[in-house]
A = this chain, B = another copy of it.
Amino acid sequence: MDKLLVVKIGGNVIENRVALLDFLKDFAALEGPKILVHGGGKEATQMAKKLGVKVKLIEGRRVTDAQNLNLITMLYAGKLNKTIVAQLQALGCQSLGLSGADGNSILAEKRPVKPIDFGFVGDLKTVNNSFFDLLLKEGISPVCCALSHDGNGQLLNTNADTIAATVAASLSNHYEVHLLYCFEKNGVLKDLNNDNSIIPSLNESDYKNLKTKGLLHTGMLPKLQNCFTALKKGVKYVRIGNPKMITESGTYTQITN
């Protein structure tokens, strides 16, 4: 089986123009089939303020009403996605920006309104493997933003980490998939205040122990759950680390079963 890299880049790297361009240079230089999944960043919140769109939170989690979905669609599928694709083209990387509706690439269903109505949020159902395969075989790198669709005309907000894990898992039938989560830290840290306290390797039982002891940052929990799910569904290896990890010169935590 051919090797396939699925790389997720977090919102905080996207917000930093220099860091983003640096990352895109490394991504463009990678050989072989590759997919980029990008998060959103804080611009959605800033723009919501400017436009007078209210951001509603329930239990600390954002609710995606129609106005917020519009905003996210403009920023993620519009500005961010196209800026990234234009930069990749300039770097000689033939790439193609996608929402889940494009090519029917990522199908989801709207999350049930009970117990909590999070609005237009999508739980993933199906990845269109043959569409991704068509692009990859032509040397085209898909660039996915954090939007899926329900097949009935509705776009849905979906966590970019989950999109990366689900696409990686789905394509592991066709490829030997390596899933890399790049973010602003050097890996999963023992001590959030010490950037060098990288945990070299983390399996699910370590994860449960650390979680029980409250030693993991809450933002890390869903990311790690995505990692374990991906591994169980056939992804060859998963790493969480800084953007330089894709050139093998960065640092990371290897996630294992």
Q: Which residues of A contact B (CB under 8 A)?
A: 47, 50-52, 70, 73-79, 81-83, 85-87, 89-90, 94-99, 101-104, 134, 138, 140, 147, 149, 151-155
In the assembled complex, the Cα of A26 lies from the Cα of B106 at a distance in Å of 25
Known: A78-B81, A90-B151. 8 other contacts (CB 8 A): A50-B52, A70-B79, A73-B78, A82-B147, A89-B101, A89-B153, A97-B102, A134-B134
Copies in the complex: 2
Checking B77, B134, B149 against A89 with a beta-carbon cut-off of 8 angstroms, the contacting residue is B149
Which chain B positions have C-beta within 8 A of A50?
50-52
Most buried by B among A51, A77, A138, A140: A77
19 contacts between A and B (CB under 8 A): A51-B51, A73-B79, A73-B82, A75-B78, A76-B78, A77-B77, A78-B81, A85-B102, A86-B99, A86-B154, A89-B104, A89-B149, A89-B151, A90-B152, A96-B98, A96-B103, A103-B140, A134-B134, A134-B138
Q: How far is the CB of A145 from chain B (nearest CB, A)?
A: 9
| Given known A-B contacts A78-B78, A90-B153, A99 and B73 have beta carbons under 8 A apart | no
Listed from nearest, the 9 A-B pairs whose CB atoms lie closest are: A78-B78, A74-B74, A90-B153, A74-B78, A86-B101, A85-B101, A77-B78, A96-B103, A87-B153
| Given known A-B contacts A94-B104, A134-B138, A155 and B99 have beta carbons under 8 A apart | no
